[in-house]
Amino acid sequence: MIPTKNLGVTVLLILCSGLANAQTTGVPFVNDLLVRLPPTFLAQGSATTSCNFVGFAAAVPPYVVAYELSAPTATATFLALGAGGCTATLLPFGPPAAPITCAGPVAGSPLTNLWFSINFAGPWPIFVAGVPNSAGITRWNFTIPSVPTQPIWAQGVMLDTCSPFGVKFSQALGFQ
C-alpha cells in the first residue's frame, strides 16, 4: 500500500521517469541527423539522443554548415531550425513510437521517433524543405554570416507512410 502522504510525489516521479526515456534517438539509415561544422567538416551528432549540443564552429564567418538526414523510407524531408532552445520531450505526436517496421529494430524499445524537440520560444522554428536522394539522404548547406550568439538547434522532420501518424523525427542537434 502506498501512503497517501507521499502519493503525489510518487506519481510525479513515475511520470517524470518515463519522460527521460521518451526522447528521440537518431538511428543511422532510419531517422538520423548529423551536422558538419568547419573547419574539419567531420560528421557530428549521429546516433545520439535529442538536444545534443555538438560544439562550436571554429571558423571565421562567413562559413558553411552542412546537415545530413538519413531516412530511406521518407517521402519528403524538412529541417526544423530554431534558436529558442531544445527540450527532448517537448511535443509528442501520439504514442511515443512508430512501430519497429518503420523505425528499424536497432532503435530500441520503446521506439521514440515521434517527439518534436525544438522549442517554440523566442524566434519560432523555421522549416526548410529538402529532397531525399535515391539512398534516402537529404543534405542542406547553410552559409552562416556571423557567429551565432546562442545555440542553433536543428531537427529532421520526415513524412513517412510507415509511421502511424505519417510523420517521424530525427534527434535534435545544436551548435554555436
CA 81-149-90 angle, to 5 degrees, is: 40
pLDDT value of residue 122: 72
Looking at the chain, which runs of residues are DSSP E strands? Answer: 32-36, 43-44, 52-55, 63-70, 76-82, 86-92, 115-118, 126-130, 137-144, 152-159, 167-175
For the chain, residues with pLDDT lower than 70 are 1-22, 93-112
pLDDT value of residue 12: 31
pLDDT value of residue 94: 62
DSSP per residue over 122-160, as a string? SSPPEEEEE---TTSEEEEEEEE-S--SS-EEEEEEEE-
Predicted TM-score of the model (pTM): 0.81
Domain tally for the chain?
A: 1
Domain that holds residue 100: 4-175
pLDDT value of residue 19: 44
- For 113-131, what is each residue's pLDDT tens digit? 778 899 987 778 999 999 9
